[in-house]
Chains A and B, each alone.
Chain A
Amino acid sequence: MSILVFIEHKDCVLNKASLEAVAAAQSIAKDTGLKVTAVIPCSKDCSLAQEISQYNLDKVIVAKNDKLNIYTPDGYADAWEQIIKQTNAQYVVMAHTYQVRDFAPKVAARFGKEIVGDCIRYTNNGGKLTFTRRIFLGKLDADVTIEGGAPYFVTFQSGSFRGDNAEKGSAQTETVEVDVKELRMTPEEPFQEAKASVDLTKSGIIVAVGRGIKSQENIAVAQALADALGADLAASRPICDAEWLPIDRQIGSSGQTVAPKVYIALGISGAIQHTVGMKNAGTIVAVNKDAEAPIFDIADYGIVGDLFEVVPTLVEEIKKAKS
């Protein structure tokens, strides 16, 4: 019986989020007395196996089939189903990446199971694990236990464990040829859209607007603040979805990741998919009328109030201070 941990990669290049999953699996191993096996689906004798074998793991399994050269949910589900059965896995631990979101529930469903997804931590109560998930877009936490028998499927949110805390060691590598049945989807090559016309990664100060800005006309309110500060304007996803600002101004897991000296969030609630893109800013300022908005949890300075009252005063005072 073991804990399986998924190593995600593209053309044998590691997705670093998987090291966070390794750290999580190692931690669960300590609490349960189980051993950790890393699983790498690949079409080759994956060159990544060597790198992963230098972690404190019981084993590294390369699940091999020609059809695993490029990700498909059907291919990955077939591979995982066999590895889980063969290893009699107790836990399956993964990072909550977009790829994992795509195939993990399918694998779980084949075992009549579901995923305890996007967990931010877990606690051990005498061998019974309680997982904590963030719900309502970050406004509340829920402690969750899993009923029934193994395998248990758990995914962790980015940043819940530190990849550089994954323990080093040495593990054996093993290749397991897996069967992959018909693939009902044909993938093309992944690509990036034409280069973004604004590169916000170089901005010193960013003023970012969220749905609290209410309308396209009101963007001017935030623009005035950006102008006064010599800052760049950015936005949360709903603003770009509505085409009030172009998509290359979107910050977050699907947009740009920035770390300016100052990040001012106006009317942004602070959902994880937004905060992963800006939490490393030097100073974070949040203006939000909801005192419980999760953005305040990562802010250095917070103002609870209506941004349409706060921002004009800010602009006026900044202009005074600068003249």
Chain B
Amino acid sequence: MKIIVLMKQVANKDAILRIGKDEKWIDESDISHQTNESDGYALEEALRLKEAKGEGEVIVCTLGAASAKTVLKDALARGADRGIHIIVNEPNKLSPFQIAKTIADAIGEESADLIFTGLQSDDASYGQTGVILAELLGIPHATIVIDLDRSSLGESLRLKRELESGWYQWFTYKLPALLTIQSGISQIRYASLKGIMAAKKKEIRDVTPGVEDYASAQKIEKVYLPLKTKQTQMLGDGDAKKGALELVEKLKTEVRVL
């Protein structure tokens, strides 16, 4: 059984974002990065599925700049078997269809039984790369997957999707299939020292794709700070303690809960 996990490098959650000179993206030059949150869960679930089955191969694949190699190395250290790096220097310039098409060209021949992705990236948040990829590969997909019935794995797989407001639904999918994984599906393991050592010997294949032009792209014209819509009373002028004192006063006199 072969599982491909798609993982993306994104800006660190706590990084201070500066808008780039052309105002079309953030300035990524000296920003710290991390693996997209839900992609980490996608990897974890792939590893667990392989372990439950007792055989198989987990391949991690990223489309990104040279720096994105750390995403693959980290995944290999956690237990993935090999990596594919589709090298694109400015992935933010590609629209979701182009990304899906480029990935389809790079991994199509692997003929995986399952492809896992995170449900959306925390930067561009297109939330559709996986679904378009499935359609291009001619396989079915499920999004927002929050549980797998691992024992059901065979010609098909039973999975649980998250619906809105605390509702869920089980589906059985014929394989091959593509699943986009929701955060929280299972607890993520840490890389062990042994895993980190073993990763050094694992293969990462670099792919330099020819990215096709795409006439129907959505084009980012301008990126900016959201306009404020509500009058917020800011308390304490940056002094935490003063802010706390002022808030208690407000809770007494304006909100009247004390």
**Binary CB contact string for chain A from 178 to 210 against chain B (1 if under 8 A, 0 otherwise):** 000000111111111100100000001100000
Whether B135 pairs with A106 at a CB distance below 8 angstroms is yes
Q: How many A-B residue pairs have CB under 8 A?
A: 270
Contact yes or no, B226 A254, CB < 8 A:
no
Residues of A within 8 A of B216 (CB): 112-114, 146-149
Which of B16, B100, B223 lies in contact with A140, CB distance below 8 A? B223
A110 to B236, CA, bound (A): 54
* Distance (whole angstroms) from the CB of A217 to the closest CB of chain B: 17
A144 contacts the other chain (Cβ, under 8 Å)? yes
Tell which of B123, B142, B218 has the most Cβ of chain A within 10 Å.
Answer: B218
Q: Which residues of B contact A133 (CB under 8 A)?
A: 125
Q: Which of B49-57, B60-68, B250-258 contacts A (4 or more CB under 8 A)?
A: B250-258
Q: Which residues of A are found within 8 Å of B183, using beta-carbon distances?
A: 237-238, 241
Bound complex: CA A238 to CA B26 (Å): 25
* Contact stretch, chosen from B71-79, B202-210, B237-245: B237-245
The number of chain A residues touching the other chain, given as a range, is 35 or more
| Chain A nearest CB, measured from B118 CB (Å) | 13
- Within 8 Å by CB of B215, from A141, A147, A302, lies A147
**A255 & B257 in contact (Cβ 8 Å cutoff):** no
Q: Is B96 an interface residue (CB 8 A)?
A: yes
> How far, in Å, is A244 (CB) from chain B's closest CB?
11
Flag if A140 contacts B122 (CB, 8 Å).
Answer: no
Q: Cβ of B144: which chain A residues have Cβ within 8 Å of it?
A: 98, 101-102
Whether, in the assembled complex, B168 has its beta carbon less than 8 Å from a beta carbon of chain A, the answer is yes
For B26, what are the chain A residues with a Cβ–Cβ distance below 8 Å? Answer: 136, 140
- Asked whether any CB of chain A lies closer than 8 Å to the CB of B190, the reply is no
Chain B count of residues within 8 A CB distance of the other chain: 83
Contacts of A117 in B (CB 8 A): 125-128
Select the stretch in A39-47, A51-59, A168-176, A289-297 that faces chain B: A289-297
Does B248 interact with chain A (Cβ within 8 Å)?
yes
Nearest-CB distance from A62 to chain B (Å)? 23
Q: Does B141 contact A (CB under 8 A)?
A: yes
- Indicate if A220 sits at the interface (CB-CB under 8 A): no
Q: Are B11 and A254 in contact (CB under 8 A)?
A: no
- Assembled-state Cα–Cα distance A300/B235 (Å): 10
Across the two chains, which residue of chain A brings its CB closest to B37? A238
Q: Is the CB–CB distance between A301 and B135 below 8 Å?
A: no
Q: Is residue A283 contacting chain B, with contact meaning CB distance below 8 A?
A: yes
Q: Complex: how many Å from CA A240 to CA B173?
A: 28
Binding site for A on B (CB under 8 A): 11, 13-14, 16-17, 19, 26, 37, 95-97, 100, 122-128, 131-132, 134-136, 140-144, 161-174, 177, 183-184, 187, 215-230, 232-236, 238-241, 243-245, 247-248, 250-252, 255, 257-258
Q: List 27 A-B contacts (CB under 8 A).
A: A74-B140, A97-B164, A99-B163, A101-B143, A102-B131, A102-B143, A109-B131, A114-B216, A114-B218, A117-B127, A118-B127, A134-B226, A135-B124, A136-B11, A141-B225, A204-B257, A254-B166, A255-B165, A261-B255, A300-B232, A301-B234, A303-B243, A303-B244, A304-B238, A309-B240, A310-B240, A321-B248
- CB-CB nearest 3 A-B residue pairs: A241-B184, A305-B240, A148-B216
